[in-house]
Amino acid sequence: MRELVIIGGGAAGLSAAVSAYDSGIRDILIVERAPELGGILNQCIHNGFGLHTFNEELTGPEYAGRFITEVLERKIEYRLNAMVIDVQPHLVTYVSSEGIVTEETKAIILAMGCRERPRGALNTPGYRPAGIFSAGTAQRLMNIEGYKVGSRVVILGSGDIGLIMARRLTLEGAKVLAVAEIMPYSGGLKRNIVQCLDDYSIPLYLSHTVTEIRGKRRVEGVTIAKVDERRRPIPGTEMDFDCDTLLLSVGLLPENELSLKAGAALSPVTGGPVVDDTLSTDIDGVFAAGNVLHVHDLVDYVSEEAAIAGRNAASYILSGSHSEDKVKVIPGNGVRYTVPQYIKRNAGSVTIRFRVSDVFSNATIAVREGENVLKRIKKRVLAPGEMEKVALPGPQYNEEIGIEVEV
């Protein structure tokens, strides 16, 4: 029997492997369906990765390269072109050129990342012509496959991937006509608004959405319109753009088909498994980290979180214990979700990550245990796009932990 199987060789899988190894586990296997380790980082050729971890600005492939080197130095085993098709407690089944293999293992770390929301989920009227891409697909086509995606482009959604692609397309000679965002604020980082849009005078239309796509075989144009508070288009505010390409940057969803097969409980808010402070799911010996758990915008936090999962999987393998004695973490006013959702009563110090549900300025984050205030942190600004965290010292948690925003 193996000690640890890690599903996915992206930022999360690599970091989890290194930390499990450094915690004393030797018999580790990373299973990756792509022909390379590194995950989504391989297509993120822009810089801005690793400021927190390495104190320098790396590109995605460079950041992945650092962790791949760590994995190779430790001689951690990995299988490429191997796709996991089933997970059961202590069993992982994958398909590769050797056929179907089932590994029996003491622990499993889920690190499958996320995928983009498909357009089907968006009710944009019109035909379904060629020239409509999700932003991440366009990123892969340009940066890995080397294709030209389009010449005149409109982008729906102002998440970071959309902003990064606006600059990337402009540098490659395309004209980005507009970025439309249905919310009254951008979901992307300020830095990306400035360096990807403002630098190239690309207009950002907040509270706008695409109302029509024209063209039968290839996109010929799109119409965008302003929306009211209930996100309904306002007649008379339409603007037409002649373009051959529409990019959709409308959010990411954790990739959890396998977690479901394993029987793990998923959170309806994060789309990822419900976990405790050790990042253990509710299935014995199955841990999760990275975008499969909740969508991260900073890879540094993915690496940090995955290192925690690796360490805890190691101590689970070595001691075999699994405590059921937990308290709940409750997202209160202004908090959309927390990870973890449970804390062991004897957990010691714990970091809770969360996202707020709206933009707040000069607000206070209050953390309570029952009625008791554990912490109050003043924040000049809180935004849904920036993941927040609070550290709790422990050592003991006796009542429910509540986190809320006070304005």
We find the least distance from the C-beta atom of residue 363 to ligand FAD, in angstroms, to be 25
DSSP 39-58: GGGGG--SEEE-HHHHSS-E
Considering the complex, state which of residue 1 and residue 171 has its C-beta at the smaller distance from other proteins.
171
We find the least distance from the C-beta atom of residue 46 to other proteins, in angstroms, to be 5
**Which stretch in 160-168, 170-178, 327-335, 370-378 sits in contact with ligand FAD by CB under 6 A?**
160-168
Q: Which of 345, 386, 394, 404 binds other proteins (CB under 8 A)?
A: 386
Q: 331 exposed, middle or buried (CB, 10 Å; 0-12, 13-18, 19+)?
A: buried
The structure tokens listed for 371 are 């009625």
**Which stretch in 95-103, 138-146, 149-157, 238-246 sits in contact with other proteins by CB under 8 A?**
138-146
Considering only residues 4 to 43 of the shown chain, the ones binding other proteins according to CB under 8 A are 42
Q: How far is CA 172 from CA 162, 169, 289, 373, in A?
A: 15, 5, 35, 53
Write a three-state SS string for 134-203. Answer: EHHHHHHHHHHHCCCCCCEEEEECCCHHHHHHHHHHHHCCCEEEEEEECCCCCCCCHHHHHHHHHHHCCC
Contact between 13 and ligand FAD (CB under 6 A)? yes
Among ligand FAD, other proteins, none, the one that 195 touches (CB under a kind-dependent 5 to 8 A) is other proteins
Smallest CA-to-CA distance from 212 within 120, 122, 125, 121 is with: 125
Three-state secondary-structure class, residue 351: strand
The structure tokens listed for 313 are 């999987």
Among ligand FAD, other proteins, none, the one that 152 touches (CB under a kind-dependent 5 to 8 A) is none
Considering the complex, state which of residue 304 and residue 369 has its C-beta at the smaller distance from ligand FAD.
304
**Which stretch in 78-86, 143-151, 309-317, 329-337 sits in contact with other proteins by CB under 8 A?**
143-151
DSSP tag of 234: P
Return d(Cα 43, Cα 161) in angstroms, integer.
11
Residue 175 falls in which region: left (phi positive, over 0), alpha (psi -120 to 50) or beta: beta
Q: How far is CA 282 from CA 185, 287, 400, in A?
A: 36, 9, 18
Contact between 39 and ligand FAD (CB under 6 A)? yes
**Pattern of binders to other proteins over 36-75, x per CB under 8 A?**
------x--xxx---------xxx-xx--x----------
Q: For residue 195, report the phi and psi dihedrals to the nearest 5 degrees.
A: -85, -15
Among other proteins, ligand FAD, none, the one that 179 touches (CB under a kind-dependent 5 to 8 A) is none
Among ligand FAD, other proteins, none, the one that 96 touches (CB under a kind-dependent 5 to 8 A) is none
**Pattern of binders to ligand FAD over 92-131, x per CB under 6 A?**
-------------------xxxx-----------------
Q: How far is CA 43 from CA 64, 141, 218, 286, 372, in A?
A: 11, 9, 25, 29, 46
Among ligand FAD, other proteins, none, the one that 126 touches (CB under a kind-dependent 5 to 8 A) is none
Map tokens 């792509």 to a residue. 34
Q: Do you find a cis peptide bond into 395, omega within 30 degrees of 0?
A: yes
Among ligand FAD, other proteins, none, the one that 47 touches (CB under a kind-dependent 5 to 8 A) is other proteins
Instruction: Give the helix/strand (H/E) hosting 61.
Output: helix 60-73
Instruction: List residues binding ligand FAD (CB under 6 A).
Output: 7-13, 31-34, 39-41, 44, 49, 83-84, 111-114, 136, 139, 160-161, 164, 252, 255, 258, 290-291, 296-299, 302
Instruction: List residues binding other proteins (CB under 8 A).
Output: 42, 45-47, 57-59, 61-62, 65, 142-146, 168, 171-172, 189-191, 193-195, 198-199, 380-381, 383, 386
